[in-house]
Structure 1
Amino acid sequence: MKYQNDNFYILTGGPGVGKTSVLDELEKSGYIVMPETARAIIKEQMAIDGEALPWKNKESYMLLMLEASAESYREAISQNSSLPLFFDRGILDAVCYARMVRLEVSDKIQQIAENYQYNRKVFIFPPWQDIYETDNERKQDWKEAEATFEAMKKTYQDYGYEIIEVPKDTIGNRKDFIINCIKQE
């Protein structure tokens, strides 16, 4: 089944660029926000001493991330909201990860990416070294963070999405920038 939801917006980018802070602000403003699935998978796998981690079994991690992202999309449909709904990363983030670690993007993965469509405008957060930090789930160094940004941008463009770069600014101004871009549609 193919889904197209023009009120579903993705916020993406490399790690540690402020997406979650802006999403928290959007949620405080009354918008529905779908949390990042990748970070939840890492926390869960670490808690159970699992193998589906980016530093252990990259393929298992990617497949869990892909399925969790598709489930998040289906859950968002059940919200039945006419307001913009925001995702902390989308299905194509899993595709991008697969490309970056040189995993095969199988026909099944390709089909999922094509069947779950978001608004064509994707908000991407650029690398911002002043706010970048690593932690237990985020282990990428700065160079990897920059490479992830470029790879995300290319992946979304390859699938026909329009990239809108969110300026480096305060959390409130970044939130307002996103809302104003949506209102201009």
Structure 2
Amino acid sequence: MSERFILLTGCSGGGKSTLLDALGEAGFATVPEPGRRIVAEEMAGDGRALPWVDMKAFAGRAVAMARADLEAACHLDGTVFFDRGLVDAAVALAHAGGPSVRETLGDARAYAEQVLVVPPWPEIFAGDAERRHGFDAAVAEHERITGALDDLGYRVLEVPRVPVPERVAFVLLACGADQE
């Protein structure tokens, strides 16, 4: 576990990727969401592991990709922000009928103890070709993730529903990353 690995998670469509892009523009190392990368790969390929085709296969790929992302991040300097990650993938896999979150993750914590959670924000939620579920499903996913974070002993800090520059300032202050 690395205290410099900051997990940004929460509700689908809540602005995580936009926030991550802004953190990257501010010079921080960032790791994009595994799910979006998998969907892009699957749409270009045979599509067997798309979440709306085979959620268990999709989540299994997300677990593997998130583990690879963590390994690769060990070679980066400073604070690293992750858009979703291993916890999210383990929650999705358990929800799809795979092993429990604890079985997938074991006892080791992969990220800093404090996790930044983007809450449901209906005013900005939008579906697209890669996000085919509705807001209610996104809220249910959010609840599963925050429940798992609590069970795993992470401290959840909710990111306020404010414009992106204010979110960036909040995140950097919360993580102490503004000192880098």
Q: Is the TM-score greater than 0.5?
A: yes
Are 2:90 and 2:101, in contact at CA under 8 Å, matched by a contact in 1?
no
Structure 2 residue aligned with 1:86? 81
- Aligned-pair identity in percent equals 29
Are 2:2 and 2:111, in contact at CA under 8 Å, matched by a contact in 1?
yes
- TM-superposed CA distance for 1:102, in Å, is 3.4
CA distance in 2, matches of 1:43, 1:172: 28
Structure 1 residue aligned with 2:39? 42
Structure 2 residue aligned with 1:122? 115
- Out of 72, 75, 79, the residue aligned to residue 75 of structure 1 is 72
RMSD: 1.7
Are 1:73 and 1:116, in contact at CA under 8 Å, matched by a contact in 2?
no
The aligned amino acid for 1:87 is F
Task: Identify unmatched segments of 5+ residues in structure 2.
Answer: none
With the length of structure 2 as denominator, give the TM-score of the two structures. Answer: 0.92
CA distance in 2, matches of 1:95, 1:10: 14
Are 2:91 and 2:101, in contact at CA under 8 Å, matched by a contact in 1?
no
Task: Identify unmatched segments of 5+ residues in structure 1.
Answer: none
SS of equivalent residue, structure 1 residue 9: strand
- Out of 20, 23, 31, the residue aligned to residue 26 of structure 1 is 23
Aligned length: 177
Are 2:5 and 2:79, in contact at CA under 8 Å, matched by a contact in 1?
yes
- TM-superposed CA distance for 1:108, in Å, is 5.8
With the length of structure 1 as denominator, give the TM-score of the two structures. Answer: 0.90
- Out of 105, 108, 115, the residue aligned to residue 110 of structure 1 is 105
- TM-superposed CA distance for 1:57, in Å, is 1.5
CA distance in 2, matches of 1:70, 1:103: 17
